[in-house]
Amino acid sequence: MEESKNFPTMIIPRDTEISVNEHGQLSIRTPGNLVIQNSGVYSVIKSESGSVRVDPQVQVEAISVEAADSCLVAGELTAWRVHAGKIILEKGAQANIMLQQSEKLELDRNARLVGNFASEKELYLMLGRFSRQLRDLPEGLLADDQRQPLPRPEPALGDTTAAADSRRSTGPEPGETLALVKVIVERELAGKADAGGRKHLEELLGLVRSGDADAIGKRYGALMSAVVEPSSDLEKAKAMLDRLYA
């Protein structure tokens, strides 16, 4: 009995939600502060009214991190999106954040931040503009399922100012739109899409990766319409394709 008293005590506050998705990723939603002391892969990490902290020497990977107050990183954080009042990287911390949404960002001089796009649109357009460079990366850098050809046309980095201004005024080019749709569909498949919807989204993703404009134009409407209760992001993707193939 005396030895058992030395073990740490775990307290799960009232109203905390803990779940595991089909990919084995843990989701934690808690009303107060959350301190992560074990490395792991997560789906959603959320503090409704407090802060989220990643302790030193802890490696955390998450799709989404949300904190009403602060997201403090003393170890290593890799996340698609971080939404917090403040993002603070302490000494020696490293963060790989694709989408950073915060009012304030504080970095120790020895901390390192990679990514930091302000919005999904900004990220998607960047992926579209540099599709050729992504394709030309050494094969060993990318997993097999990431070496699919990106949609054409390839953005020309040597565009004249007039051409670039014209493109901005008319909206994203087809290649940029398809790059954006590709990322949205991949996110849907990584989420909780039902079995029927997953089948149709996988077919759509294959078409978008192929860059076959005729096939996409003929099939995307039926495939997307077959998804029950589509997310707002998927509806936006359909609207973009509607404009592209109108």
Q: Which of these, 79, 80, 73, lies nearest to 94 by C-alpha position?
A: 73
Q: What is the CA radius of gyration of the chain?
A: 21
Residue at a domain's end among 118, 148, 167: 118
- Which pLDDT belongs to residue 32? 92
Domain residue limits at 76? 3-118
Residue 134 tokens read as 């992504």
How many whole angstroms separate alpha carbon 62 and alpha carbon 41?
Answer: 6
Length of the chain: 246
At 70-110, the pLDDT tens digits run: 999 999 998 888 999 999 999 999 998 888 888 899 999 88
Instruction: For 184-196, give the DSSP string.
Output: HHHHHHHTT--HH
**Three-state SS for 132?**
helix
Q: Please state whether the predicted TM-score (pTM) of the whole model is above 0.75.
A: no
Same domain, 113 and 127: no
Which of the pair, 54 or 192, is modelled with greater confidence?
Answer: 54
Q: How far is CA 239 from CA 90, 140, 173, in A?
A: 41, 35, 15
Q: Among the residues of the chain, which ranges form H helices?
A: 120-129, 131-135, 161-170, 174-190, 195-210, 213-225, 232-244
Same domain, 113 and 56: yes
Domain count for the chain: 2
Same domain, 76 and 21: yes
Same domain, 35 and 77: yes
Confidence of residue 213 (pLDDT cuts 50, 70, 90): confident
Residue identified by tokens 């997201």 is 71
Same domain, 127 and 99: no
* 91 membership: H or E segment, kind and range: none
Same domain, 112 and 131: no
Residue 200 tokens read as 């149709």
Residue at a domain's end among 73, 88, 118: 118
Q: What is the mean pLDDT of the chain?
A: 78
| Residues 15-40, mean pLDDT to the nearest whole number | 89
130 secondary structure, DSSP code: T
Same domain, 170 and 228: yes
At 137-149, the pLDDT tens digits run: 555 544 444 434 3
Residue 201 tokens read as 């989204």
Same domain, 105 and 131: no
226 secondary structure, DSSP code: T
Same domain, 67 and 167: no
Residue at a domain's end among 90, 118, 146: 118
Q: Going by C-beta distance under 8 Å and a sequence separation of 6 or more, which residues neighbour residue 120? A: 99, 183
